[in-house]
Structure 1
Amino acid sequence: MLFVCVFFAYSCLALLMSTGIADATTIQLLEDSETLFSPNAKYRLGFFSPPDNTNRYLGISFNAVSPTYYFWIANRNNPVKDSSGVLRISEGGILEIVNGRNNTLWSFNSSSQALNATRKIQLLDSGNLQLIELDKGGNSRVIWQSFEYPTDALLPSMSISISIQNTTATKLQAWKSPSDPSEGRFTLALDSATNTQVIVWDGDQRHYRTGPWNGNLFLGLIYPDSTNDYADTFIQKNVAQDEVIFLYIGVNQLSFPHYYFSYDGTVSEIYWDLGKKSWQTLYKVPDDLCDYYGKCGDFGICDPVKSPICQCLKGFVPKNSREWKAGNWSSGCVRRTTLQCGKQGGGKPDGFQVLNTVKLPDLEVWLQGINLINCRTMCLNNCSCLAYAYDQGAGCMYWTNTLIDIQQFPSSGITLNLRLAHSELGNKGRPKVVNAAAVTVGNKGRLKAVIAATVTIALIVLRMWFNRWKAKQASKRSILDHLNHGDHKNQTKLEELPLIDFKDLAVATDNFHHNTLLGRGGFGKVYKGLLGDGREIAVKRLSAASLQGVEEFTNEVIVISRLQHKNLVSLIGFCVEGEEKLLVYEYMPNKSLSAFLFDSTKRELLDWPTRFNIIEGICRGLIYLHRDSRLRIIHRDLKASNILLDEQLNPKIADFGMARIFGHGQDKDETRRIVGTYGYMAPEYAMDGHFSEKSDVYSFGVLLLEILTAQKNNAFWYEDESLTLLGYVWKLWVEGDAGSIIDPLISDPLNKKEIDRSIVVGLLCVQENVNDRPNMSNVMSMFSSEIADLPQPKEPGFNKRHMFMDATSSNLNQMSGGALSMTAVSGR
């Protein structure tokens, strides 16, 4: 939970290296091929290369976990370009990293001189790297330590800090990308030394905040009961009243507890589960749309279980109604009735509307030393006071300029007292109706009045139910209308597909709790759920900012509801309520092919027979789409993350939001709205908008080569010639050395014939000319050796990186807004 949410103690004479002898007394260095372990062997220091990156960095990682995870990096902004890097202590006592040309890439230079002392490095059992100084008497002192210079993680005994004058601060800086550890766009830091809270910054814009610290916890975090035993522990320390330090204590019961600050701006408290042998998440923020700073603008409140998620506070109305209805709430709300404070005329005084269990707004003013009653009186007498709150630890807080970043919590949270004009207080609508009924009955008795009021309320409830039912029918009808205005109307019985209530999906996913989150992408998030009948489901919840709009959502419902094949994912139902658009699928326990293929540990489960079964399954699914179903479907977004795996790792093609239905006799089409994922798009589609089943064949070829090499095409970089994965495989094949890039886990003499044949099939599928590519039926025949002699492949399309970038960028000005779907890259 975020904020709820080793040192190899060698003898002072030697440094033990994993690769052999490395005596710090005489050598005082760590070469690229060497590793330094902590005494308990839980941590290690060494050089490494991130995924899809050949540069070398010196980092500290958790030992005996997979995948390897580096929580501290020395030269993150200045990597070593080859394996010549060395960590050493210079003659002047400077700790530094140098390359083969003796250029200093990173260093720590102490102001104190090591004249009559020896300096050593040691890795402690806490994961802290220290530079220590030993004098001739055997006394030691710490000159420098890594825990004082965190990069993107907080381990127990690490801290973040800020000075009273805000002149110095210790912060976390996220990676630029999953393969680039240099400092990225997101920063985590304390906001101030007075009203202290933790802020995640996106450049110079607030991205997320924890709410203020009350001496025990952060008031803007939800602390669920299920994780109370593992709640994070922070201690606030003031050093000589000049600096505020938040020291992370961690959870003793857990293995390797720490905070991880991801390249995408999320912060997670995670630990290593010894039983499952995997990283588990206690808490993560931001976790839903309401967590993002100021989602609903000024005087708006965000509730993730409502639709739409943004509402104006009571007494306020949208500042821009048109934007608000369109789902853009950034303009916020404005007050409907002016406050009376400071005005003459005898109007009734302002009062307060109570909002329970909320995340308090940002930019509060603190007033120490007064109680709750005095806090209320102060706000009422201060014409600038818009709202107040009181917490036993934090004291009195009030707001004067605006109220922004308010969130409704299901539990926890604080009570906010919102100042309103007297006419805005209370429930105005319902009492008027009830009172009218009471006047009608006059003096005929209280019983009749009660009956009249009850009947009136019942009618109101019935009307609300009817309106809700009508809205649901309208939502479903809108999809049917979209179908009936298309080219293939009346070809499906969409009514047979269940329209599921949003509240039922909220219950099934525990109100879309972060513990049920399966994954996320440009479209939104996918949650695991359990229906009342015991069926496990995957719920795809499109975000308001999704690249997949109403057209794509409707398209996916229409297309997939007509398809039945064992290699296509099954759609169970859908939900459209207000701003919410959700698709309900069968649950696939092994997630996507991408989650296995590009993970160094899970990939071991993909031996060659399993991979070949996946390849054939994808092929059969595409043949069904292109030729065997009653409709001809072009998928247009085939990639590893859209191939889901069941319990036996059998593949199922998913995500039909970009798919197109071809009419009878139609074999190609064109569009100015380019959708899909670059790296998988065929040249004729990315360049000119022309697509056909051969476009899917090209994407299949890219996917096939990725399965063979365990490399991502859109992340592969061959520096000498700027070749893409396709270009590099082509180059090696022409040279007769294509086997050298095959994933070593499947590179076995027993598989060689089948793998060599698959390489050729992959290259045939990605040929630049559309007419040169085989169709999927021919591809299947090539795999089964029904076509014994394979034709010679021609050069692939997009085989060089610069060509690919020029081609795609030149076409951007032809695209309609939001049409481009980018691949979601998983974290480290």
Structure 2
Amino acid sequence: MGCCQSSLLKLKKPSADVIGRGEHSLDRKNHHHQNGVDSSPADEFVPPFLEFSFADLKAATNNFSIDHIVSESSDKSPNVVYKGRLQKENNQRFVAVKKFTKAAWPDHQQFADEASGVGKLRNKRLANLIGYCCEGDERLLVAEYMPNCTLAKHLFHWEKQTIEWAMRLRVALYIAEALEYCSQAERPLYHDLNAVRVLFDENGDPRLSCFGLMKNSMDGKSYSTNLAYTPPEYLRDGTVIAESVIYSFGTILLDLLSGKHVPPNQALDMIGGKNITLLMDSHLDGKFSTEEATLVFELSSQCLQYEPRDRPSIKELVAALVPLQNKSDTPSYEMLGIPKREEIPLAPQEPLSPMGDACSRVDLTAIHQLLLVSHYKDDDGSCELSFQEWTQQIRDMLEARKRGDMAFRDKDFKGAIDGYTTVSYNS
């Protein structure tokens, strides 16, 4: 690809100026970054990784209603992502549910193992994976729901809501930090990294979707976007390596600079040693630092080098991006132009009554004792009306109710359930 051999930058590694500004500015690092896999823990409210039933996810998405679709499918990537809300009494959080095609992952165990591997990751720079479903032929992933859309929508579709320059720099850093965390956690491969994979949470903070840490199918392609954005080594022989992710990160940097999805070769040829403002998003209207933009463009150019060995490491990219964060104290929601999330205090929990406690534990013996103490009795005295006027169905219901009552008094809970179920079914 000629774009990566441009005379503008023939750097095999990031220049001393580009990377040095990060390495010699460690004292300027703000709270956004610290080295180490566990340096950026996930939100304390991220639930543990779970296996969901298909019924759970069907209920959460209203039977996978088209009204709940948040990402459209395509021929190249036919899997669909839905917005859902869990229906458990103690868990009604919003989730993103990715539903794979039936034939995507035929091996039940392989899908479960892959999902479990991704589910171990927990970081505040990720939209974390919180569960999966592997029931019959169904294959689904469940992740934290990010309510403020994708970077692609903010950059390419909402021209009247332009992302300010400082926020674009924050996006670059946060996604680099997410990739650094994944790399250090021994999950360095990310499939089809692009602006659609960058999501904004309820606070407006950018996060990297966990869905890209798994392929769309067991034997599927790692890249489904236009070939113009695909790493050269993948085009050559289908190889995906850690450096391939760096290449894709370079395309995201171009997106942030231009506000358009510009193919790498076109972007580099457009500049050709001229002023960086030729590439910049016109909606920024000069509201950016030319020096900072030039540095980001240089980083992008290095990421897009043809040979994988000539690209910078993710650690070097983070080090170069940290000093560029010049509005560290401004919350993301303010820069993104979205309302501040209001914290709703949890209602104080009233202590459960003895019956409520027994029901929450499904303790049938305790329920039985409590009902006896409260003088529970059956309906023997209330069934003295003229049976001959009643239908056979009513008589059957009363008989079933009596059988349930008798079984309950004898602590035959299975018999009681059977009797009461018959009554419920016929009523």
* Cα-to-partner distance string for 1:732-789 (whole Å, 9 max, x where unaligned): 3323133212111224254222112111111111011222211111112222359xxx
Which of 147, 151, 158 is equivalent to 1:593? 151
**Partner residue in 2 for 1:355:** none
Q: Contact 1:529–1:536 (CA<8 Å) still a contact in 2?
A: yes
SS at match of 1:634: coil
Q: Contact 2:130–2:142 (CA<8 Å) still a contact in 1?
A: yes
**Partner residue in 2 for 1:735:** 273
**Partner residue in 2 for 1:691:** 240
Which of 174, 194, 197 is equivalent to 1:642? 197
Q: Contact 1:636–1:695 (CA<8 Å) still a contact in 2?
A: no
Which of 162, 172, 182 is equivalent to 1:625? 182
Q: Contact 2:125–2:207 (CA<8 Å) still a contact in 1?
A: yes
**Partner residue in 1 for 2:381:** none
Q: Contact 2:197–2:209 (CA<8 Å) still a contact in 1?
A: yes
Structure 1 position 559, deviation (Å): 3.0
**Partner residue in 2 for 1:499:** 51
TM-score under structure 1 normalisation?
0.30
Structure 1 position 553, deviation (Å): 4.4
Unaligned ranges ≥5, structure 1:
1-495, 661-671, 714-724, 787-828
Structure 1 position 674, deviation (Å): 4.7
Bigger relative contact order, structure 1 or 2, given CA contacts below 8 A and separation 6+? 2
Q: Structure 1 or 2: larger helix share? A: 2
**Partner residue in 2 for 1:712:** 261
C-alpha separation in 2, matches of 1:734 and 1:551: 51
> Which amino acid is 1:647 matched to?
E
Find out whether 1:514 has 2:52 as its counterpart: no
**Partner residue in 2 for 1:771:** 309
Q: Contact 1:552–1:657 (CA<8 Å) still a contact in 2?
A: no
SS at match of 1:539: strand
Q: CA RMSD in A?
A: 2.8
How do residues 445-456 of structure 1 correspond to structure 2 at under 5 angstroms? Answer: none
> Which amino acid is 1:576 matched to?
C
SS at match of 1:573: strand
C-alpha separation in 2, matches of 1:676 and 1:613: 25
> Which amino acid is 1:573 matched to?
G
> Which amino acid is 1:706 matched to?
D
C-alpha separation in 2, matches of 1:610 and 1:632: 27
Q: Contact 1:556–1:655 (CA<8 Å) still a contact in 2?
A: no
**Partner residue in 2 for 1:762:** 300
SS at match of 1:580: coil
* Cα-to-partner distance string for 1:478-498 (whole Å, 9 max, x where unaligned): xxxxxxxxxxxxxxxxxx732
C-alpha separation in 2, matches of 1:500 and 1:750: 46
Structure 1 position 705, deviation (Å): 0.4
* Cα-to-partner distance string for 1:432-489 (whole Å, 9 max, x where unaligned): xxxxxxxxxxxxxxxxxxxxxxxxxxxxxxxxxxxxxxxxxxxxxxxxxxxxxxxxxx
C-alpha separation in 1, matches of 2:252 and 2:105: 23
Structure 1 position 688, deviation (Å): 2.3
How do residues 209-228 of structure 1 correspond to structure 2 at under 5 angstroms? Answer: none
**Partner residue in 2 for 1:565:** 123
C-alpha separation in 1, matches of 2:188 and 2:109: 16
C-alpha separation in 2, matches of 1:778 and 1:502: 43
Q: Contact 2:69–2:81 (CA<8 Å) still a contact in 1?
A: yes
**Partner residue in 2 for 1:574:** 132
Q: Contact 2:165–2:287 (CA<8 Å) still a contact in 1?
A: no
Which of 93, 100, 121 is equivalent to 1:535? 93
> Which amino acid is 2:281 matched to?
D
How do residues 388-399 of structure 1 correspond to structure 2 at under 5 angstroms? Answer: none
C-alpha separation in 2, matches of 1:616 and 1:561: 23
Unaligned ranges ≥5, structure 2:
1-47, 325-427
TM-score under structure 2 normalisation?
0.57
Q: Contact 1:704–1:762 (CA<8 Å) still a contact in 2?
A: yes
Distance 1:651 1:674, change over 3 A: same
* Cα-to-partner distance string for 1:311-345 (whole Å, 9 max, x where unaligned): xxxxxxxxxxxxxxxxxxxxxxxxxxxxxxxxxxx
Distance 1:749 1:644, change over 3 A: closer
Q: Contact 2:194–2:252 (CA<8 Å) still a contact in 1?
A: yes
C-alpha separation in 1, matches of 2:128 and 2:257: 27
Find out whether 1:746 has 2:284 as its counterpart: yes
* Cα-to-partner distance string for 1:493-512 (whole Å, 9 max, x where unaligned): xxx73211211222222222
Distance 1:730 1:547, change over 3 A: farther
Structure 1 position 653, deviation (Å): 1.5
Greater radius of gyration (CA): 1
SS at match of 2:240: strand
